Amino acid sequence: MERTHRKEEGGVALPRLQQRKTNSHKGDYGRVLAVGGSPGMSGSISLTGVASLRCGAGLTTIASPKSVQPLVAQVEPSCMTLALPEDRHGLLPMHSRDAITKAAKNSDVVAIGPGLGRSHGLDLLIQDLYCDLSTPMVVDADALNALGSRENPLAGPGGPRVLTPHPGEFRRLAHDRELPKGRWTDVAADMAKRNGVVLVLKGHRTTVTDGERVYSNETGNPGMATAGAGDVLTGVIAALLGQGIPAFEAAQLGVYLHGLAGDLAAKAIGSDGLIASDLLDYLESAFQQHRRRR
Ligand SMILES: NC(=O)C1=CN([C@@H]2O[C@H](COP(=O)(O)OP(=O)(O)OC[C@H]3O[C@@H](n4cnc5c(N)ncnc54)[C@H](O)[C@@H]3O)[C@@H](O)[C@H]2O)[C@@H](O)CC1
Ligand SMILES: Nc1ncnc2c1ncn2[C@@H]1O[C@H](COP(=O)(O)OP(=O)(O)O)[C@@H](O)[C@H]1O
């Protein structure tokens, strides 16, 4: 397995970021569909959607259960919203599949999971979308938990997939509550290779693997141990995928820039009271700093 690190540490270089072309338009920078949210958790998918725009996505639509959509629509006027069918608990039912599939076919990337909640119907819906949609997908949070309920959680991806579990979600995906930390990278690499996906193991030193390559990220700080920081990462990686960066490189660059935004935010405002929405304000500076280093 090839191990890659930041160029500054003497390892393999991070991917380059293209400059925006003078005569380009929003259609050149990717259409992101962010699917998530439920009663009490409308903020998570809003963070994902806004992060994708802050990372250069040309157009972002946030799709959420219909009772949640008006709340999401108030967060950021630059995001479009889509109201989806919901069950009596306000969660997405299996019959929201057609509306999501239709929207996904008009998108370059789907980010799915933040704030979805849990139900049997959601388990079936997510499993179906994971296997059937050919659109590249970033799978996070409750969408990972939905896959974890399958016998072979990551089998049969319908297209490029980047999965972003934190340790609790990773143990659910691995079907091993006791999996020791020392084995996480090897187990993740094996799962990634067998299923042809990219896994992002989030934490203090986030690891990205496709089974052939392993990237260990060195940006980020404990100020990011705060609700919603991972929802932001989902939007960052989705934006990069939507701009045509291949899955492993989009995940690698995404975790690097997300951590760098966290480091810039902590430097400017401190880390004790850092909140996830602060990260959004430093993504642009992170992009600029990365460009200057090339
Ligand atoms: N503003 C919002 O609406 C927010 C909604 N959220 C949503 O809340 C739902 C539940 O997600 P949660 O992640 O809170 O719940 P989970 O039950 O998936 O995970 C929480 C548990 O995971 C483990 N864990 C997480 N990070 C760890 C680490 N670095 N090391 C060791 N163990 C670790 C811990 O056991 C922790 O108690 C998701 O849908 C999520 O998207 C959260 O993202 C927080 C913000
Ligand atoms: N101590 C830390 N050092 C570096 N990065 C961290 C630290 N704690 C959390 N992070 C980052 O913050 C994010 C937290 O994501 P996650 O656990 O999914 O939170 P949430 O579900 O609330 O969004 C991850 O990208 C993780 O790498």
What stretches of the chain adopt beta strand conformation (E)?
Answer: 2-4, 31-35, 59-65, 80-84, 109-112, 137-139, 161-163, 198-201, 207-209, 213-216
Ligand 2 contacts CB of residue 222 (under 6 A): yes
Using a pLDDT cut of 70, give the percent of the chain over it.
95
Beta-bridge partner residues of 15: none
Domain ranges of the chain: 27-166+221-293
258-261 long-range contacts (CB < 8 A, ≥24 apart) are: 258/219, 258/220, 258/232, 258/233, 258/283, 258/286, 259/206, 259/217, 259/218, 259/219, 259/220, 259/221, 259/224, 260/219, 260/286, 260/289, 260/290, 261/285, 261/286
**Over 90: is that where the pLDDT of 291 sits?**
no
**Over 90: is that where the pLDDT of 91 sits?**
yes
**Each residue of 183-225: pLDDT tens digit?**
999 999 999 999 999 999 999 999 999 999 999 999 999 999 9
pLDDT band for position 10 (50/70/90)? very low
pLDDT at 3: 62
Protein residues with CB under 6 Å of any ligand 1 atom: 41, 43-44, 114-116, 141-142, 166-169, 203, 227-228, 230-231
**Over 90: is that where the pLDDT of 39 sits?**
yes
Q: Which ligand is closest in space to the CA of residue 230?
A: 2
pLDDT band for position 4 (50/70/90)? low
Q: What is the mean pLDDT of residues 218-247?
A: 97
Ligand 2 contacts CB of residue 140 (under 6 A): no
pLDDT at 294: 59
How far is the C-alpha of 21 from the C-alpha of 109, rounded, in Å? Answer: 21
In this prediction the ipTM stands at 0.95
pLDDT band for position 2 (50/70/90)? low
How far is the C-alpha of 5 from the C-alpha of 290, rounded, in Å? Answer: 15
- Among 202, 208, 256, 277, name the best residue to mutate to test ligand 2's pocket (greatest count of ligand atoms within 8 A of Cβ): 202
Angle at 47 between CA 142 and CA 114, to 5 degrees: 5
> Which residue's CA is minimally distant from atom 21 of ligand 1?
168
28 marked as binding residue: no
Ligand 2 contacts CB of residue 231 (under 6 A): yes
**Each residue of 128-187: pLDDT tens digit?**
999 999 999 999 999 999 999 999 999 999 999 999 999 999 999 999 999 999 999 999
For residue 23, how far is its CA from the centre of ligand 2 (angstroms)?
Answer: 37
CATH number of 27-166+221-293: 3.40.1190.20
pLDDT at 15: 84
Residue 104 identity (one-letter amino acid): A
Q: Please, are residues 36 and 115 in contact by the beta-carbon 8 Å criterion?
A: yes
205 marked as binding residue: yes
Ligand 2 contacts CB of residue 225 (under 6 A): yes
pLDDT at 6: 44
Strand ordering across the sheet containing 137-139 = 2-4, 213-216, 207-209, 198-201, 161-163, 137-139, 109-112, 31-35, 59-65, 80-84
- Residue 121, token pair as written in the block: 């119907």
Ligand 2 contacts CB of residue 218 (under 6 A): no
> Which residue's CA is minimally distant from atom 11 of ligand 1?
141
What stretches of 194-248 adopt beta strand conformation (E)?
Answer: 198-201, 207-209, 213-216
Among 140, 240, 149, residue whose Cα is nearest residue 199: 140
For residue 276, how far is its CA from the centre of ligand 2 (angstroms)?
Answer: 10
Ligand 2 contacts CB of residue 283 (under 6 A): no
206 marked as binding residue: yes
For residue 226, how far is its CA from the centre of ligand 1 (angstroms)?
Answer: 9
How far is the C-alpha of 172 from the C-alpha of 164, rounded, in Å? Answer: 13
Mean pLDDT of the chain: 94
- Residue 117, token pair as written in the block: 């909640």
Could you count the other beta carbons within 10 Å of the beta carbon of residue 275?
13
Among 54, 13, 31, residue whose Cα is nearest residue 288: 54
Residue 36 identity (one-letter amino acid): G
Given the CA of residue 44, which atom of ligand 2 is nearest to it? 23
